Structure 1
C-alpha cells in the first residue's frame, strides 16, 4: 500500500512514517521543508514539498496513493485570531479530502485531537461520547480541529473517513521540539513552576500503532481516542526530576495567578500580538483533563503503555541531538 502522510516533519508523522516503512509500505511524505526531515533516506519513502492550503500541491501529493493519513495541522498556541487556524485545519483538510475523493482513494485517516472531546476525572475519564466543554470551548485550536473533524466526516458517504484523537504525545524525533518542550522545561532545572491541573500523556509510538490499526480496522465515520496515562502536572514533573541528577525544587503556581496572567495575555492579543498566554490557555492548565482509550483498545486492538518509556526515549533523543 502507498500512503500519503501529511505534516511529515512533525513528531507524530515522523514516528508514523518510520512505523509504516518498517511494515514494508511505501510512503509519500508531504512537508513544507525537506531539509528539516529527521529520518534517513529510504527506498520506499518519497518526500514531497508543499502545503495543504495549496490545492495544486495537494493534488500532486495525493496522486498515486491508496490512502491518506492526515496529520498536518496548525497547533501554535500563540495566534491571536481564528482565521489562521481555520485556513489550515479546516480548509486545508478539506482540500485533502476532496483530492482523495477525486483520485478515488478508499480510506482517509484524520488525526484530530482529544481536545475536541470533553475531558473527565481520574475516576470517570472522558470518552468519545463526552461533549466538549469549557475551557476547551474557548481554545481556537480545539475549535478548529473540531470543525475540521466535522467537515471531513461530512464526506464519509464518498470516502471512508476515520478519525483518531490522540492526547498529549511524547517520544523521540521531536525536532522542533513540540510537545517534548515540557520535558525540556523540567529536566535538569533547579526550579520547576508547575500548574495545578493535569492531562493525559501518550507514547507517540503507541499513537502510530493506533493509526495503523485504524487504517486496517477502523470503521467509517468512527472516532477513536488514543490515550495513555492520566497524570497531574505535579506527578509528571516528579517523573522528570527523578531522571535528572539536579536537585530540583517544585513550586505549584496558583490558579488565580495563572488567570491574572491569562487576562493580561487576552489584552495583548487584542492588539494582534502573538502570545501563548491567554485566559483560555491558563484555564486549561488549571484543570485535570483526563481521557480513556477503552474504545480504541476494544475495537482496534491497540494497547497503551505508561508514559515512562516515552519520557526515557524522548530524553535520550534530546541528549543525542544536543537539545539537553
Structure 2
C-alpha cells in the first residue's frame, strides 16, 4: 500500500508514518513549509510541502497513492482563531476529498474525534451510535469544528464517489508530536501542578501508537462511511491523575477541585499565557468539561482486530517521552522518580527507532 499522511508532523501523523513503515507500506507525508519536522525528517518517508487549502499541492502529493490518511486538523483549545479552525476542518477536508478524486485514490481515512459522540454528566459509555448534544455541535472551537468536519466530509465524499472512513480517537498520549497538545498536556499539567488537584468526571485514555495502528486497520478493513472509536480504558480523572503520580513518582492527588475552582484556575492560566506568550496549562473551554464523562466503547474497531494496550501502559509510554523533553521543567523533573515501567517503555521506543533507522539505510 502506498499511503499519504496529511499533517504528518502531528502526534497522530508522526506515529502513522512509523506504523506504515513498520508494516512494510510505502509512506509519504504532507507538511506545511513552516512545519517542525524534527521527529519525522529521518524516517524513510518522503515529505511533500503543501497545505490542505491548496488542492494542487494535495493532488501532487497523492499521485499514485492507494490511501490517504487525513490528520491535518488543529487539536487545540487555545491560540487558534475559530474561523480558521472551522475552515481547516471543513474546507480543508473537502479539498482532501476532491484531490483524492482527481488523483484516483480509492479511500480516505479521516481523523475525527470521539468528542463528536458527546459526553455526559453520568458515567455512561458511548458508542458510534451516539451523537453530541446540540449545544456541543454549535459551539466554537475544536469540538464544533470536528462535528462540522464529519458532516461535511460524509456529504461531499458521497457526491465525489470517494470512500471515506472516520477514525474517532479518544485522549491519545505518546511520543513524536511536534507540539505538546491537549492530550499529553493532561500529563504535564498534573506534574506541574503544585496543588496536585483532581476533579470529577473522566475520559478514555489510549496510546497514540495504537491509534495509528487502528488507522491502518480502518484503511484495510473498515466499512466505507463507517465511524470507529479508537480508544482503550475509561477512567475517572482521579484514577488518571493517581496513575500519572504512581508512574512519575510524584505526590498523588490531594484535593478534588470543583468546577468553579477549575474555571478560576483556567482563567488565571489564560491571563498568564497572554502575558508570557506561552500556552496555558488549562483553558476555560477545558474547565467547562469538568464533571463530564468522555467514556467510549471501541467494540466496533475491536471486531476488526483492534487491540489497544492498557491506559497504564499508554501513560507510561507518554511519560517516557515527556519526562526527557522540553515540556517538563527541570524543577519538576528533579522531583520525579520514574517507575520501571516508564524506563521499559523508553527502552522499547529506542529499540523501535533503531529498527526504523536501519530501514532508512
TM bracket, shorter-chain basis: 0.7 to 0.9
Q: What CA deviation, in whole Å up to 9, does each residue of 1:149-169 have, x standing for no partner?
A: 121112135011111101110
After the TM superposition, which residues 1-324 of structure 1 pair with which residues of structure 2 at under 5 Å, given as runs? 1-32=1-32, 33=34, 35-39=36-40, 41-43=42-44, 45-79=45-79, 82-119=82-119, 124-133=124-133, 136-137=136-137, 138-154=139-155, 155-156=157-158, 158-178=161-181, 179-187=183-191, 190-259=194-263, 277-278=283-284, 280-298=285-303, 300-321=304-325, 323-324=327-328
CA RMSD in angstroms comes to 2.8
Aligned residue for 2:52, secondary structure, equals: coil
Partner of 1:270: none
Q: TM-score, normalised by structure 2?
A: 0.79
- CA 1:262–1:312 in structure 2 vs 1: closer, same or farther (change >3 Å)? closer
Aligned residue for 2:248, secondary structure, equals: coil
2:259 and 2:291 in contact (8 A); partners too? yes
- CA 1:46–1:122 in structure 2 vs 1: closer, same or farther (change >3 Å)? farther
Q: What CA deviation, in whole Å up to 9, does each residue of 1:124-160 have, x standing for no partner?
A: 4111111112763435211111111121112135011
Aligned residue for 2:29, secondary structure, equals: strand
**Residue 82 of structure 1: how far off its partner (Å):** 3.0
Deviates more, 1:307-316 or 1:30-39: 30-39
Unaligned 5+ runs, structure 1: 267-273
Unaligned 5+ runs, structure 2: 271-278, 329-361
Q: TM-score, normalised by structure 1?
A: 0.87
Q: Find the aligned partners of 2:14 and 2:41 in 1 and give their Cα distance.
A: 11
**Residue 34 of structure 1: how far off its partner (Å):** 5.6
2:175 and 2:318 in contact (8 A); partners too? yes
**Residue 249 of structure 1: how far off its partner (Å):** 5.0
Aligned residue for 1:30, secondary structure, equals: strand
Q: What CA deviation, in whole Å up to 9, does each residue of 1:171-214 have, x standing for no partner?
A: 12234212212211223754322332211111111111211110
- Paired residues in the alignment total 316
**Residue 46 of structure 1: how far off its partner (Å):** 0.6
Question: Whose helix fraction is larger, Structure 1's or Structure 2's?
Answer: 2
